[in-house]
Structure 1
Amino acid sequence: MQRYFVAPEELAGDRVRITGDDAHHLVKVMRAEPGEEIICSNGLDREVLARIASVDRNLVEAQVVSELPMDREAGVEVWIAQSLPKGDKLETVIQKCTELGADRFLPFVSERTVVQYDEKKEGKRLERWRKIAKEAAEQAHRNRIPDIGQPVSWKQLLKLLPEADLSLICYEKESGLSFRPLLAEARSRGPEGRRPRILVLVGPEGGLTEKEVSEAVQAGCHSVSLGRRILRTETAAMAALGCIMYEYGEMGG
């Protein structure tokens, strides 16, 4: 069944309005007709089963049939801090990590970041990243769309680390510390009243410098290994996230 995120004001009472690209997808791609059922979520606190009432080129209206539980999100909140990689690698990270359950993406610029950060072009890139996250969240039947922030500097990123209950920096030269014991400890002392928040920090293609790793550790990050094999930057975040979700019982029990 097709699933769509709509703005909170478009899911009011017992009516749903779907506009823009989603309406076009329903009408032109899915050939939707009145009477068909879809799932709609406001991305915050409400998800419904709705029956299409009318179809127009730029607008689909539906009637709410029933309320659905908001139970698709993980029991752990994971932030992915990813140094800007070349090409469309960040798009892959956003898509796959959204499917796996990431809650927030923090792109950043580090010393060895190859990509030239262009603030003028960043608006369009950010719009595309958010679209990819939305579509991946719909495909994965999630209740919420991950937040994607504007790229920040290394120093700005370090200031965000204390917001997490546990911060992990994936470092290829780390040989002694596995993050499994850290996850077990974090899970046992989870915060009261909210999900535990774990931040995963991944460097660029050329890796983080020893100075950056040292600064991150001083800021509260734990330097951890992802094993004896060297992973690509776009693989590291997915591997770490998969391990976290497994440890928290989010991979099938």
Structure 2
Amino acid sequence: MQSLAPVRPRFIGLLNPSWIFTSTLRAFSSASSSANVNQSRGGLPRFFSEVLPPSKGGFVKVQGDEFWHMTKVLRLTTDDRVELFNGKGGLVEGCIQRIDRTALDFVALEDPKFLLPQSPQWHVFAAFGTLKGGRADWLVEKCTELGASSVTPLLTERSSSISENRVDRLERVILAASKQCQRLHEMILKPPMKIDSLLPLVAQSNISFLAVAEATPLITSLTSSRRQSKGLIIVGPEGDFTEKEVNMIMEAGATAVGLGPHRLRVETATVALLATLTLWFDSQQMSDC
């Protein structure tokens, strides 16, 4: 990973931004079994609830931010139909039965559905703790939309901290993005991690990709590697990893990959890596069908 100057990616049209997001949604839709709920579509408003009704006719109370969003922002009222999801693959359709000043009663119109994760399981480790101007928000939002399983703020010599206030904000961004893109399995924001703690995870992973300037192009590495549907994505801070950090991560087993001839911002490199891996492995899966 390089830093500082934003640039349009150049993987022979593969990373054209509009193509990425259109193709990503199409890929995720095609991966769903016809017997299951399509996770990228749905006409009803969807809201988060840790607890779902156990069966048809059951109810739960919706309070807090979701209650506010439903009644004050969207101005939903009694008998309006909505969906609740729990971030663990559970989804249920129902309607609003009763509203008071601080909560509403949601009644299930069907038994809840529970789905297993169907997209590739990529875990992102990115040194974004010092990003400003909403760029960290954008990074975790797009990782959520693209199906990352988790995002971990990576603490390095050049990005050594992340504030608690920012962690709280990022969790809200993830929830909002999950609702918007209608993913049923939450993306987990993990506690900040130092390089020393990352190394054992790299050693245990089947595949780990480390963004490094002037390394072998990512597409070249993919065509010569065994297909994996899960692994680690590692991106350094603005100013890049130190040479010592790169050597430590590669010695633990990571594969260094390049993202073109230009310097990319942290969030650009992260999304470029994640989008490419998601679409590449999904296309390989489709070709096997």
| Code of the aligned partner of 2:222 | L
After superposition, the C-alpha distances for 1:185-207 in whole angstroms (9 at most, x for unaligned) are 442xx5xxxxx322100011111
Q: 1:199 to 1:134 in 2, by over 3 A?
A: same
Provide the residue aligned with 1:61 in structure 2.
105
Residues 54 and 112 in structure 2, CA contact (< 8 A), matched pair in contact too: no
Provide the residue aligned with 1:237 in structure 2.
270
Gaps of 5+ in 1: 191-195
Secondary structure of 1:18's aligned partner = strand
Aligned pair partner of 1:159 in 197, 200, 204: 200
Which shows bigger deviation, 160-169 or 43-52? 160-169
Aligned pair partner of 1:182 in 222, 231, 247: 222
Residues 217 and 259 in structure 2, CA contact (< 8 A), matched pair in contact too: no
Q: 1:225 to 1:141 in 2, by over 3 A?
A: same
| Code of the aligned partner of 2:145 | E
Aligned pair partner of 1:79 in 102, 114, 123: 123
Q: Displacement of 1:58 after TM fit?
A: 2.1
More strand by share: 1
| Code of the aligned partner of 1:91 | D
Give the alignment of 1:127-142 within 5 angstroms.
127-142=168-183
Residues 82 and 203 in structure 1, CA contact (< 8 A), matched pair in contact too: yes
1:43 matched to 2:83: no
1:95 matched to 2:141: yes
Q: Taking every aligned residue pair, what percent have the same amino acid on both sides?
A: 26
Provide the residue aligned with 1:3 in structure 2.
46
Q: 1:159 to 1:90 in 2, by over 3 A?
A: farther
Q: Displacement of 1:64 after TM fit?
A: 1.0
Q: Displacement of 1:226 after TM fit?
A: 1.2
Q: Displacement of 1:219 after TM fit?
A: 0.7
Secondary structure of 1:79's aligned partner = strand
| Code of the aligned partner of 1:100 | L
Q: What TM-score, normalized by structure 2, do the two folds share? A: 0.75
Q: 1:183 to 1:19 in 2, by over 3 A?
A: farther
CA distance in 2, matches of 1:41, 1:184: 39
Residues 73 and 101 in structure 1, CA contact (< 8 A), matched pair in contact too: no
The total of aligned residue pairs comes to 238
Q: What TM-score, normalized by structure 1, do the two folds share? A: 0.85
CA distance in 2, matches of 1:78, 1:178: 15
CA distance in 1, matches of 2:111, 2:184: 13
Runs of 4+ in structure 1 over 4 Å off? 67-74
Q: 1:180 to 1:34 in 2, by over 3 A?
A: farther
1:18 matched to 2:58: no
| Code of the aligned partner of 1:96 | K
Secondary structure of 1:235's aligned partner = helix
| Code of the aligned partner of 2:155 | V
